[in-house]
Structure 1
Amino acid sequence: MTNPVQPSTPVTVSKLGYVEFETQDVDRLVDYYTTILEFTEVDRTADEVYLTPSFDHHAVVIRKGETKPRTSVGYEIFEDLSDAERRLTDAGYAVERRSDIAPSTPDVLILDEPTTSTKIHLYDQQARSGVGPDDSSLRPTKLGHVASFTPELAPMQDFYQKLLGFKWSDTVGDFFVFLRCNSDHHAANFMASTSFTGMHHIAYEMRDLNHLQTMLDHMAQNDVRLEWGPGRHGAGHNIFTYHKDPDGNMIELFTQLDVIHDEAKGYFEPRPWHTDFPQFPKTWEVDLVAVNSWGPINPALIDH
C-alpha cells in the first residue's frame, strides 16, 4: 500500500460476517463452540472448521496453527464487488481478489488492516448454512462485534470510516473508539495500546435477559465461570458478561445494545437507562459510568 488516498466514496460495509481463530487444538475449541455456545459445525477441511449460530454459512473459522485470535475478519458489503475493488485500487490500496477463501464465499477482496497483521475480507454474501431459528434455544443470535488493540487509533479509525464507510458511535477518553456499520452501536471497536496487541474480546448477541440467563446457567453446569459481569456498559449501554474460551480468548455475551435506526436524526433509540436524552454519539469521561454503570470495574479487562 503506497500513499493511499481516500476513495471517491467509501465501500458500503453492511455487517460483520465472521472472525477467524488459529489454535493448536482445533477439536478443543470446536467442542467449546458446539457444546457451550451451541454453534453448528457446517463444514470442515483438514485444517479448518466452519461454525455458525445463524443462516449464514459461518461466523467463526477455526484453523490449525499457533494460538492467535482475529487472524482475519470478514465483512459483508452492500454493493458490487468489482466496483468496490476498482475504487479501492484507484485510491492506492493493495487489494487481492481470491476465490479460495472459504466454501461459502467464492469471491473475496482482501486488504491489510493498518497497524495490525489482520486480514480484512470483503464479500457480497455467504452461502446459507441450513440452520434454522428453532435448532437451539441456547446459542447466541449472531456475531456482534470484535474489539482489538491498536498502537494508534487515528489510522485505524480512518481506515474503517473513510475506506469502509463505518460511522463513529462513541469514544471513551482518548483511547477506546466504537464504530458501527449498520444500526447496531458497534461492530468494531479499538483500544489504543503500546503494551498489548491482538484481540481484546469477541462478542455474541443474546436475544434478551432471559436468554442470557439461560446461557449463563448452562455455562455454570459445564464449569465455565465469568471473568466479569453481569453489568451494563455506558458506551453502547449493553448488558454484558465476559468469560474465557479454552484458548484464553475473552468472550462477551451481551444484550440490549444501543441502535440508531434513523441516521438523519443521529441519536440512539431512546432507552430508560440512557444517561442523556436524547443519547447522541459522544466522548465519554473515563469513569465508572462509561465502563459499568451497575458497579465494579475489572481492571484486567480495560487496562491499555
Structure 2
Amino acid sequence: MIGVRKIAHAAYETPDLEQQTEYYTNILGLTLTAKDKDAVYLANTVDHHAVVLRRGAAAQCTRVGFELGPNDDLDAFEKQTAAHGVKTSRKKDPEPTIADMVAFQDPKGTVMEVFKRPEPQALKFARNGVVPHKLGHVAFHVTEVKKVTAFYCDVLGFRVSDWMSDFFSFLRCGVDHHTINLMETGSNRHFHTAFELRDWGHLETACDFLSLNGYRMLWGPGRHGIGHNLFAYHRSPNGMITELFAELDQMKDEELGYFDPRPWHRDNPQKPKVWPKDPSASNLWGPMPPEEMMK
C-alpha cells in the first residue's frame, strides 16, 4: 500500500484574514512566504507553507495536505484511492511549489490534498513570536469516528496509535504518535490545530509570550496520558483552538511496535492500546479540559 508520510499543511477559511495573518506571523512566529488575492501562505522552514488562509464567511478547516514518499507514484496512489470508491480530482500547479496533486474528500467533508514532496525551501526560523518547529497535527470533531478512522487507515495508510474508549482515535502516518485526531461528538468540525515546540522551556516561554500579548490558556500546561506530550491550548483571534506541544511519543520502529521509552510512561513498553475514559488519559498532572474546549 502507498501511504502518506507526513502532514504538510492545513488550510483554513476565516472572516478576518488580516487579523488571522497577524496572529500566525507576529504571535505564533510563522513566516509569510506568499500572498495573493485569494490566499496567504505561512511557513516554518522546510515547507513553503504549513498553513494556508483564505477569506471565508466562517472560521473552519477546509483542507489538509499530506506528502507521499519521494519514490512513491502519485498515479498509483490515485488508482489505489479510486479503488475504494473515492472520487478523486487531479490538480496541476495548484499551490506554490506543488506541481501535481490528488484531491478528494474524507467522509466528514474535509478535502485531502496528496502530493509528492516538493523541493525543500531554504527558509530560516522566524525571530519573533512563539516560533514552533512544525505543524504537528490537526484534530476534528466527527459524527462517525469508526467510519472516518477506517477511511484514514484504509485510504491514506494511517496507523492507529491509541483509542480513548470507543469515541476518540489517535492516528499516525510517520513516527509521531498522532498526526490526525478524531473525536465523536455529534458534529463534523475542526477541534484544534497543534504545533510542536522544542521542550518544556520553550512551552513556558510561549505561555508567557501569549499572556503578555493578551492570549489566555484554555487548558494547560499539562501532560496528556495518550501521547504523553506536554500541552497548552489557547484560541486564535477567529476563535479556533491552537495547541502548543512538546515531547510527543514517537514510534521509531513499526516492527518493534512500541513507542520510544520515556520515564513518564506508565506502561513499559508503551504500546498502542485502548485507554479508559479516565482523567489520566487526558492529563496526568491533574485538571481536566473545561467545557469551553468543546465549543
Shared topology, TM-score over 0.5? yes
- Alpha-carbon shift at residue 128 of structure 1 (Å): 3.8
1:132 equivalent to 2:124? Answer: yes
1:1-304 equivalences under 5 Å are: 9=1, 11-78=2-69, 79-114=72-107, 116-133=108-125, 135=127, 138-194=130-186, 196-300=187-291
Native 8 Å contact 1:42 1:129 kept in 2: no
Sort the Cα spacing of 1:55 and 1:136 in 2 relative to 1 into closer, same or farther, 3 A.
farther
The question of whether the paired residues in 2 share the 8 Å contact of 1:52 and 1:129 is answered with: no
TM-score (norm 2): 0.95
Residues 271 and 172 of structure 1: CA distance in aligned 2, closer, same or farther (over 3 Å):
same
Structure 2: where are the runs of 5+ without partners?
Answer: none
1:41-97 CA deviation, whole Å, 9 max, x = no partner? 000010200001121000000001122321000001111111111222234321100
CA contact (8 A) 2:11 2:64 kept: yes
- 8 Å contact kept, 1:14–1:77: yes
What letter matches 1:257 in structure 2? L
Percent of residue pairs identical:
40
**Is the contact made by 2:218 and 2:293 (CA closer than 8 Å) also made in structure 1?**
no
Aligned length: 293
Task: In structure 1, list runs of 5 or more residues that go unmatched.
Answer: 1-8
Report if the CA contact (8 A) 2:11-2:51 is conserved.
yes
After superposition, the Cα gap between the structure-2 partners of 1:241 and 1:299, relative to the gap in structure 1 and judged at 3 Å, is: same
**Distance (Å, rounded) in 1 between the aligned partners of 2:38 and 2:229:** 35
Look up the equivalent residue of 2:175 and give its one-letter code: S
**Backbone CA RMSD of aligned residues:** 1.6
* AA at the equivalent of 2:133: T
Counterparts of 1:56 and 1:136, CA distance in 2 = 19
Asked if 1 retains the 8 angstrom alpha-carbon contact of 2:139 and 2:181, the reply is: yes
SS in structure 2 opposite 1:107? strand
- What code does the residue aligned with 1:99 have? K
In 2, the alpha carbon distance for the partners of 1:37 and 1:252 equals 11
| Contact map agreement 2:27 2:129 (CA 8 A) in 1 | no
Q: Assess, with a 3 A threshold, how the Cα gap between structure 1 residues 203 and 182 changes in structure 2: closer, same or farther.
A: same
Q: Deviations over 1:6-31 (max 9, x none)?
A: xxx3x321001101110111100000
| Distance in 1 between residues matched to 2:143 and 2:116, nearest whole Å | 30
The one-letter amino acid paired with 1:268 is F
Aligned to 1:5: none
TM-score, scaled relative to structure 1: 0.92
Shift of 1:301: 5.9
**Mapped contact 2:25–2:129 kept (Cα < 8 A):** no
Q: Which amino acid aligns with 2:288?
A: I
